[in-house]
């Protein structure tokens, strides 16, 4: 297993956001993490990446316990994530934002110059189709371009595991298809392991090999997209009706 989450409990002001959640992610998987708003999906990402420390439970990555480590250390170990709301450094250009991520994600044992970081950032921006916007500031980008920059910043850290938190939110159908194709390419060509939180069911059901469902902080289902789409608990809690893949 690349990632193992074991019996995680996290409460805020007495309300359990995560209630004894366990899951695993194997190398090379694309796993969808779905559930209603407030189900605990983003909280789980925050636990995995060190933003929050769990009240109970453990997180393992590549066989090492990472529970409660600082986010920058977890990033350097090979876990990158995007955010629901894009959080760039507004005073830096697109290129500079991605270059900072490139420096931030590199192992402490490796010497990494600013020129190295900029070259890596340029390659990453070209890969996501944003090279022509490198000298703009984030506020000058469209929503779709901001999402590409967010993906580029995550990729620039050279991750083994990529956590995507509603990367498709705010995109139109054409932009969604473009982003999904890029994610499929990342998975196939770079063998990148991906966990995607998404409310666009057509997208997450068709790109994921396995789906995990959270509801009120508990895992209520796990399986293939077909299995989850026809699961009565998932239909009642989230889908409303059987989803046609």
Structural domains of the chain, ranges and CATH numbers in brackets: 1-78+159-245 (3.40.50.300), 87-158 (no CATH)
CA 37 to chain centroid: 16
- Is the distance from CB of 219 to CB of 205 less than 8 angstroms? no
Least confident of 4-13, 58-67, 96-105: 96-105
Q: Is the pLDDT of residue 12 over 90?
A: yes
- Band of the pLDDT at 242, cuts 50, 70, 90? low
**Higher confidence at residue 107 or residue 118?**
118
3 state SS of 7: strand
Long-range own/partner contacts, residues 112-121 (CB < 8 A, 24 or more apart):
120/156, 121/95, 121/152, 121/156
Q: What is the pLDDT of residue 243?
A: 61
Q: Is the pLDDT of residue 51 over 90?
A: yes
Q: Residue 84 carries which DSSP code?
A: S
pLDDT digits (tens, 9 = 90+) for 138-173: 999 999 999 999 999 999 999 999 999 999 999 999
Q: What is the pLDDT of residue 223?
A: 96
Q: Is the pLDDT of residue 84 over 80?
A: yes
Mean of pLDDT values over 120-139: 96
pLDDT digits (tens, 9 = 90+) for 214-234: 999 999 999 999 999 989 999
Q: What is the pLDDT of residue 59?
A: 98
- Band of the pLDDT at 103, cuts 50, 70, 90? confident
Q: What is the pLDDT of residue 108?
A: 60
- Band of the pLDDT at 113, cuts 50, 70, 90? confident
Q: Residue 40 carries which DSSP code?
A: S
Token couple for 3: 């990632």
- Band of the pLDDT at 109, cuts 50, 70, 90? low
């Amino acid at each position: 297993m690349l990632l193992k989450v074991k019996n995680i409990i996290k409460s805020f002001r007495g309300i359990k956001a995560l209630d004894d959640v366990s899951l695993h992610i194997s190398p090379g998987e694309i796993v969808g993490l779905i559930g209603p708003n407030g189900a605990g999906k983003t909280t789980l990402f925050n636990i995995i990446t060190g933003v929050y420390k769990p009240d109970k439970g453990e997180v393992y990555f590549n066989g090492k316990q990472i529970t409660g480590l600082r986010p920058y250390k977890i990033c350097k170990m090979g876990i990158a994530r995007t955010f629901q709301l894009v959080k760039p450094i507004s005073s830096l250009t697109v290129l500079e934002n991605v270059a900072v991520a490139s420096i931030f994600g590199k192992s402490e044992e490796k010497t990494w110059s600013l020129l190295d970081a900029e070259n890596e950032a340029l390659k990453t921006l070209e890969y996501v189709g944003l090279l022509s916007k490198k000298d703009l500031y984030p506020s000058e980008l469209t929503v779709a371009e901001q999402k590409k920059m967010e993906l580029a910043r995550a990729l620039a850290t050279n991750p083994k595991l990529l956590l995507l938190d509603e990367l498709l939110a705010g995109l139109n159908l054409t932009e969604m298809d473009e982003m999904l194709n890029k994610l499929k390419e990342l998975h196939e060509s770079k063998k990148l392991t991906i966990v995607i939180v998404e409310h666009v069911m057509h997208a997450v059901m068709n790109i994921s090999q396995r789906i995990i469902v959270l509801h009120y902080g508990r895992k209520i289902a796990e399986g293939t997209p077909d299995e989850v789409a026809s699961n009565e608990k998932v239909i009642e809690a989230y889908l409303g009706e059987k989803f046609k893949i």
